[in-house]
Structure 1
């Protein structure tokens, strides 16, 4: 079965724009630079230049993944956008920014937007005070996995067991640890393993733009480490894109 063409535009950090069919889905919005967050990339797209969005997905409620202040000036009808989030606090800030269609999507739940776009919430992790969601976007035979703050591998293996493979895994690779000992996201090597567990052959790297903060934030790996790890797995392609660049799956088929 032929796969539906889609593109992924990397905006910065874990914020990407996924365009598939007639739909545009924005993930983990972060458009306004906040110096103490420590993101080394500026947003490659201005909010005013976004297309009309079908959905916005938020993995959890931390500024570098959920910055609704940056979307206050979204230029299209906010009532036409459905937002799926992991935490009640995200609902509050989304509504403060003028978005009315906001829902906490519990792990294992799915919603259909329009006639055929399916958004699924996949178990992430409970982390300190945060709940973390992963998501799968489905249109026809195409499935895109997005885990902006993904860390744990076992839920991904379980997802594959119950639902089959995805076409591409969009995953973090810098292995951020809090104060050296508490892991927040998966490492590059774990991202390659996660891609395998999901049955995908391509890993699109994100969450690779944090700077270390002494005694607080440690960066344990990078996209380059993902390429090294994947070089030992002949069927895994690592896709590393500069901000503002667009990747297309137009050559994929099944």
Structure 2
């Protein structure tokens, strides 16, 4: 019987099943001007299963939509978050919030969650979830940084990697890159050597005008698929539509 499953809700919001527990990553269940998923939101908050924990990588709205997520039925659900998210989470009514620094670990129901370094336009962490020999790496929307190469040595084999691929650039900030691109995600795949990798964070759009004036990005996940075939041929890459449950 499979011990790992993932359902991409939208963007980088996933339901991760591991060790008999269910976790939600980077909740995003609404839209606002300039922030659009570019794809369906597969589940409403009311349709979510009972969660054992919520992991939040950073305080950008498209990863930390806590004002909308307050509709979730259990405000005592454990939240493991970047330190910069703690006060935001408490202000919105969640009372079981743990701020994490890189390489900190916590445990929920026999699943160990370890914060991993990241780099983005604001402070960010990423996460490895482990139950026995099974492990999932959730990469939020980090850049590729040297610290990520430490994951196999520090945390062991990764079974499933969930990786951003759109290489987002911010035009008004000197066209600064803030998210890894398809080739860099493939490089990280070669380092982690998971059995399965699933791209995320590629359909996002700021709308017709915002995409031309504020951001630029690669919205085609097949570019990652092609790069990973060359750099990490032993890893299966699967491009998943929101709502598709994938078992490993």
Residues 1:37 and 2:31 are matched in the alignment: no
Question: Does the aligned pair in 1 maintain the 2:203–2:219 contact within 8 Å?
Answer: no
Q: Corresponding residue for 2:81?
A: 85
Structure 2 counterpart of 1:18, from 9, 16, 19: 16
Q: 1:8 & 1:187 partners in 2: Cα distance? A: 22
Tell me the CA shift for residue 24 of structure 1: 0.9
Q: 2:196 & 2:18 partners in 1: Cα distance? A: 17
Residues 1:168 and 2:160 are matched in the alignment: yes
Q: Corresponding residue for 1:194?
A: 188
TM-score, normalised relative to structure 2: 0.91
Runs of 4+ aligned residues of structure 1 deviating over 4 Å after TM superposition are none
Structure 1 counterpart of 2:217, from 193, 210, 219: 219
Residues 1:234 and 2:233 are matched in the alignment: yes
Q: 2:166 & 2:6 partners in 1: Cα distance? A: 20
SS at match of 1:190: helix
Q: Corresponding residue for 1:107?
A: 102
Q: 2:197 & 2:186 partners in 1: Cα distance? A: 7
User: CA RMSD for the aligned pairs?
Assistant: 1.7
Question: Does the aligned pair in 2 maintain the 1:175–1:221 contact within 8 Å?
Answer: no
SS at match of 2:213: coil
Residues 221-230 or 132-141, more deviating: 221-230
Q: Corresponding residue for 1:245?
A: 244
Q: Corresponding residue for 1:252?
A: none
Q: 1:35 & 1:238 partners in 2: Cα distance? A: 32
Tell me the CA shift for residue 4 of structure 1: 5.6
